[in-house]
Amino acid sequence: MSSLVESQASAPDVRAGLPTRRSSLARKQAIEGYLCILPWLIGFICFTLGPMVGALVLSFADYDIITPPRFTGLANLTRVLNDPLLYRSLGNTAYISLLAVPLQQSLALTLAMALNQKLRGIAFYRTVFYLPSQMPLVAAALLWLWVLNPDFGLANALLDKLGIPPLKWLFDVNLVKPSIVMITLWGGIGTPMIVFLAGLQGVPESLYEAASIDGAGAWQRFRNVTVPMISPVIFFNLIIGVIASFQAYFTLVYTTTQGGPANASLIYIIYLFFKAFKDFEMGYASPLAWLLCLVVLALTAIQFYFARRWVHYEGGERT
Amino acid sequence: MSDRLIVRTSRRALLRLVVGGAAASVLAACGGAASPTSAPAGAQGAAAKPPTEAAGAAAKPAAPEPRPEGTRPAAAAAATAPAAAPSAAPTSAPAAAAATTAPAAAKPAASGSAASLRVAYWSSSPEDHNVFENVFKAFNEKNPNIKATFDDVPSDGFDVKMQTQIAAGTPPDTMELHPAWVLRFITSKVLNDLTDRMKEDRSLYIPAQLEFWNYQDHLFGVPYYSGPSFIFYNKTLFKKAGAKTPDDYKAENAWTWENLRKAAKDVSGGSGADKTFGWLGTDFDNLQFYTCVPVWDNGGELINKDESAWLVDQPPVVEVAQMHADMTLKDKSIPLPADTQGVSWFFRTGRVGMAWAGKFRSLELVNADFEVGIIGTPKGKTGPVNRDGPNASGLPAGTKNVDQAYQAARFFGGAEAAPIYLASGRPVPVQKALLDSDAFKKSLKPYEKLEVYQESINSVRAWRVPGKGPEIGRAWKAEWDKVLVGQQDVPTAMKNAKAAMDPLLK
């Protein structure tokens, strides 16, 4: 009791001392926080930020790994502007991206909706549709090489049954990109499908019931209930899908076509790899890497800008 | 209060643990990174002991200048007595004898412990790995003061890995060299100049085998493997087609590229899984592996003398390219890439009449269900002139134990390793005396002919794609692809290829 009186009596002093104690506590907590993230921070600085800064510096140099970098000013950047293969690879990447991302997302959403039904054995179907995405990319690529083999592949056997002449698929300059898109659809829809499925399961049933009572049909329920409710999920998948289309098709293309025939499937990331690790033009590969980073950043920023118009968050507008 | 204290204390303990663990991991990671590039524990001391020039070079790994042996300070030369031994091999002795005796004479100065070498090569199969292991085991037995450890580096990206190790200052003591990329290493001055060291040994080798590793009259590689091209053919397929075999043409002194085309057409036909092709010449998109040979035999050149401009738009090259395009698209005797996709060597399927090959392929034909024939390169307007895909051992600048590394390199292609290396059946000898050796003869399968290999290697012309090799290869392939898919004719392709490839020579 006396201590209570004492403490009450000395309240102003205590308050006066609070900021000091609080800042000391905050400092301790901050130190603890930084220590906790230190392993990640070290990894980020050493393996991400460091190489990024290194690539930025090397953008102004000629460097082949063996000999020390030689400063070349803006030569690499000038070369970027005048490199026809660079534009070719950007065009190929854009083609594949524009075709693959919308198809992937719409197919994944369609599948997720189909697998969101209360059916017997639904878990089995979900597993079956998700499985291809778990197959190692190299194995999937080799598998598809056989499927699309012009002489004895399954695809042409099927076309033959339908009376359609065989196609050259990955060996045809006009078909190689659609063929790659087809392969990415097979292996690439599993993960977004699962994310969509999670989003769909978060949509309250009552909203559909209310919409039905108001006379909404299936399409209207999808358009006015499902899409707005899962719009953050669609947005997430879209962002990941676009980034992946610029970066993640390396293994597939490298294993199947290596950019051929006649550079028809030379995507940007393959071109970047060739420059860095086949031609050892690290100096030139550096601005290419930064260009890729900027393109992906710009596309992500554009998506974020337009997201304000169609992405709805339950707690109101996202800040 | 006490609870709070407990919480605070345990969190600190946890943090200490995390920080300690992270620090330990970082230390372990640093330690781990250093270990593969440094010599094995026992080797460290030995490597550090002799006050040789090599040790000095190891301490200055960034120094890119190849160091001619003549520049060795006298004291250092004395400390590295074995250095003089290989070059002191008696020149008057027969080549094979010199190869046998020289390494023994080249024993390093007794230092109390074995000098450790890390020798980096790539093997192409588990069997091949064992061959390498056994070669260096034999080397270690013959040289008790040296311990060579075989570092089997995967072939895919081998040059990148070596480049990285050299840049990091931790090169192997000897490394495999390939003509496709050796020029980059030479011009970057990261290989030891072996000219002086090899002065006495040069006469042992087939001249073209040395030429691959020569740059501006300086030698940078000790040859150990040769794979000159020749042709395997499927006798069964020719019999079935009732066609004249390559050996029939040869008997008439008419084994020419023109008749190769005819022979190929004769055995091509069928459809689907039974489709047969006469000539596995799909490597026309590979300048160094194949294209150069029919061009040289046609009296042409792919590039001008000072290697400043491609000549691929010139008539002799266009003619050869046209012949291959016609064989592929009209005769359908050369399979398209789509036809051979997924099969490691299409000839093995029995659906190919003739195949461009190296000796290593002979091992794949042991269980072939068809009769195999073998013949050399056809003649053209000149020739036959042949190509090769050889390998040599290089000594990266900064290598510890240069002298011992040279001994190991020299041993590999010599008579002492022959009973193991040549007997493996993969290589053709690089030393003149071994071309007729028992070790080589014993390696031949019933369907192989000694005279074909001898003729092939003796007609080899050393050539490396100059300039930006891989990029040149891709530019050439891209234009050739367009011919195969019917997007452009041969003369246009050759013109476009020249336009794309010329700037890459700078």
With a cut of 50, say whether residue B49 has pLDDT above it: no
Domain assignment present for residue B163? The answer is yes
With a cut of 60, say whether residue A41 has pLDDT above it: yes
Unique residue bearing structure tokens 């593969």 = B36
At A110-133, the pLDDT tens digits run: 999 999 988 888 999 999 999 999
At B159-184, the pLDDT tens digits run: 989 988 998 889 999 999 999 899 98
Facing A149 at nearest CB: one of B18, B342, B481: B342
Average pLDDT, chain B: 81
The H or E element that residue B176 is part of is strand B174-177
Domain assignment present for residue B20? The answer is no
Q: Nearest residue on chain A to B341, judged by CA atoms?
A: A149
Q: Which of B29-33, B369-373, B390-394 has the lowest mean pLDDT?
A: B29-33
Average pLDDT, chain A: 89
Q: Nearest residue on chain A to B24, judged by CA atoms?
A: A39
Q: Is B503 on the interface with A (CB under 8 A)?
A: no
Count of domains for chain B? 2
Tell whether B112 and B213 lie within a shared domain: yes
DSSP classification of residue A169: G
Tell whether B156 and B186 lie within a shared domain: yes
Q: Nearest residue on chain B to A255, judged by CA atoms?
A: B342
Write out the DSSP string of B43-90. HHHHHHSS--HHHHHHH-TT------GGG--HHHHHHTGGGHHHHTS-
Average pLDDT over residues A7-21: 50
Domain assignment present for residue B8? The answer is no
Tell whether B356 and B402 lie within a shared domain: no
The whole-angstrom separation of Cα B208 and Cα B81 is 31
- Position B276 scores a pLDDT of 95
- Position B286 scores a pLDDT of 87
Domain coordinates in residue numbering, chain A: 2-58, 75-310
Tell whether B60 and B154 lie within a shared domain: yes
Please give, rounded to a whole number of angstroms, the shortest distance from the CA of A305 to a CA of chain B. 40
Which CA distances in Å does A79 have to A68, A76, A139? 21, 5, 37
Record the tokens describing residue A256, joined without a space. 């199947």
Which residues have a Cβ under 8 Å from the Cβ of B206 and sit 6 or more positions away? B226, B429, B430, B431, B432, B435, B457, B458, B460
Average pLDDT over residues A169-175: 92
Helices (H), A62-204: 75-81, 84-114, 122-130, 137-147, 154-161, 176-188, 190-201
A316 pLDDT band, cuts 50/70/90, is: low
With a cut of 70, say whether residue B36 has pLDDT above it: no
Q: Does the ipTM exceed 0.85?
A: no
Domain assignment present for residue B36? The answer is no
Q: What is the CATH number of the domain that holds B180?
A: 3.40.190.10
- Residue to substitute from B163, B474, B477, B492, interface A, most A β-carbons within 10 A: B474
At B258-305, the pLDDT tens digits run: 999 999 999 999 987 789 999 997 678 889 889 999 999 999 999 999
Tell whether B449 and B334 lie within a shared domain: no
- Position A252 scores a pLDDT of 93
Q: What residues in B contact A146, CB-CB < 8 Å?
A: 342
The whole-angstrom separation of Cα B113 and Cα B43 is 8
Q: Nearest residue on chain A to B22, judged by CA atoms?
A: A39
Domain assignment present for residue B28? The answer is no
Q: What residues in B contact A142, CB-CB < 8 Å?
A: 342
Domain assignment present for residue B32? The answer is no
Tell whether B410 and B452 lie within a shared domain: yes
Q: What residues in B contact A65, CB-CB < 8 Å?
A: 160, 163-164, 167
Q: Is B241 on the interface with A (CB under 8 A)?
A: no
Coil, helix or strand for A315?
coil
With a cut of 50, say whether residue B82 has pLDDT above it: no
DSSP classification of residue B366: T
The whole-angstrom separation of Cα A293 and Cα A68 is 25
Domain assignment present for residue B72? The answer is no
Q: Kindly determine whether residue B22 and residue A260, on different chains, have CB atoms separated by under 8 Å.
A: no
Average pLDDT over residues A57-84: 93
The whole-angstrom separation of Cα A285 and Cα A278 is 11
Tell whether B159 and B109 lie within a shared domain: yes
A227 pLDDT band, cuts 50/70/90, is: very high
B86 pLDDT band, cuts 50/70/90, is: very low
Q: Tell me if B378 sits within 8 A of B297, measured CB to CB.
A: yes
The whole-angstrom separation of Cα B132 and Cα B411 is 12
Tell whether B409 and B441 lie within a shared domain: yes
Unique residue bearing structure tokens 């001008």 = B304
Facing B485 at nearest CB: one of A32, A36, A262: A262
Q: What residues in B contact A145, CB-CB < 8 Å?
A: 341-342
Q: Tell me if A299 sits within 8 A of A242, measured CB to CB.
A: yes
Question: In this prediction, what percent of chain B has a pLDDT beyond 90?
Answer: 65
Coil, helix or strand for A167?
coil
- Position B43 scores a pLDDT of 33
- Position B156 scores a pLDDT of 84
Tell whether B197 and B335 lie within a shared domain: no
Question: In this prediction, what percent of chain A has a pLDDT beyond 70?
Answer: 92
Q: Which range of residues forms the domain containing residue B354? A: 230-387+467-505
Average pLDDT over residues A151-169: 91
With a cut of 80, say whether residue B83 has pLDDT above it: no
- Position B340 scores a pLDDT of 86
When the candidates are 1.10.3720.10, 3.90.420.10, 3.40.50.2300, 3.40.640.10, the CATH number that belongs to A75-310 is 1.10.3720.10
The H or E element that residue B157 is part of is none
With a cut of 80, say whether residue A189 has pLDDT above it: yes
- Position A20 scores a pLDDT of 58
Tell whether B55 and B163 lie within a shared domain: yes
With a cut of 90, say whether residue A2 has pLDDT above it: no
CB pairs A-B closer than 8 Å: 93
Average pLDDT over residues A147-163: 91
CA dihedral of A77, A79, A80, A85, whole degrees rounded to 10: -170
Q: Nearest residue on chain B to A32, judged by CA atoms?
A: B15
Domain assignment present for residue B81? The answer is no
- Position A317 scores a pLDDT of 55
B39 pLDDT band, cuts 50/70/90, is: very low
Q: Which of A21-35, A181-195, B63-77, B458-472 has the lowest mean pLDDT?
A: B63-77
Tell whether B117 and B57 lie within a shared domain: yes
Question: In this prediction, what percent of chain B has a pLDDT beyond 70?
Answer: 77
B468 pLDDT band, cuts 50/70/90, is: confident
Average pLDDT over residues B299-323: 96
Average pLDDT over residues B359-387: 94
Which residues have a Cβ under 8 Å from the Cβ of A207 and sit 6 or more positions away? A225, A229
**Number of alpha helices (DSSP H) and beta strands (DSSP E) in chain B:** 22, 11
Coil, helix or strand for B117?
strand
With a cut of 60, say whether residue A1 has pLDDT above it: no
Phi, psi (degrees; rounded to nearest 5) at B394: -110, 155
Tell whether B329 and B406 lie within a shared domain: no
- Position A5 scores a pLDDT of 43
At B188-243, the pLDDT tens digits run: 899 999 999 999 999 999 999 999 999 999 999 999 999 999 999 999 999 999 99
- Position B29 scores a pLDDT of 40
Residues of chain A with a CB closer than 8 angstroms to some CB in chain B = 32, 35-36, 38-39, 42, 64-68, 142, 145-146, 149-152, 168, 170-173, 259-263, 274, 277-280
- SS3 for A250-274, per residue? HHHHHHHCCCCCCCCCCCHHHHHHH
